[in-house]
Amino acid sequence: QSVLTQPPSVSAAPGQKVTISCSGSSSNIENNYVSWYQQLPGTAPKLLIYDDNKRPSGIPDRFSGSKSGTSATLGITGLQTGDEADYYCGTWDSSLSGVVFGGGTKLTVL
């Protein structure tokens, strides 16, 4: 059971928008920065969003992050088949003194 809660799967058609939620608590999301990772099949995770809503260089602005209270959200617009992947949220947990991840969300672009 993951400390952060994500939906197991989401799906949408090419060109559409999708959001992935990540729910936590005051010891993690509410008081620490959230990051998001994309893991394409058979590859290592890749940083998509850091500090709740910042994109590393090279990440298109189709990807966005937001946070409110104990929940964070990853948004992806203009969906492409190449976006099919597992997406993970992560943050520091001050009570556990460790990094915690969500269980991951599998995105299917129909």
Partner 1 sequence: EVQLVESGGGLVKPGGSLRLSCAASGFTFSSHSMNWVRQAPGKGLEWVSSISSSSAYIYYADSVKGRFTISRDNAKSSLYLQMNSLRSEDTAVYYCAKFGVWLSWFDSWGQGTLVTVSS
Q: Would you say 34 or 76 has its CB closer to partner 1?
A: 34
Residues that bind partner 1 (CB under 8 A): 2, 33, 35, 37, 39, 43-47, 50-51, 56, 86, 88, 90, 92, 96-104
Query: Residue 36 and residue 39: Cα distance in Å, rounded?
Result: 10
Q: What is the DSSP letter of 3?
A: S
Cβ 70 to partner 1, closest distance in Å?
Answer: 19
Q: Would you say 48 or 78 has its CB closer to partner 1?
A: 48
Cβ 47 to partner 1, closest distance in Å?
Answer: 5
Query: Residue 17 and residue 68: Cα distance in Å, rounded?
Result: 20
Query: Residue 103 and residue 69: Cα distance in Å, rounded?
Result: 20
Q: Residue 20 is encoded by which pair of tokens? A: 């992935």
Q: Would you say 19 or 101 has its CB closer to partner 1?
A: 101
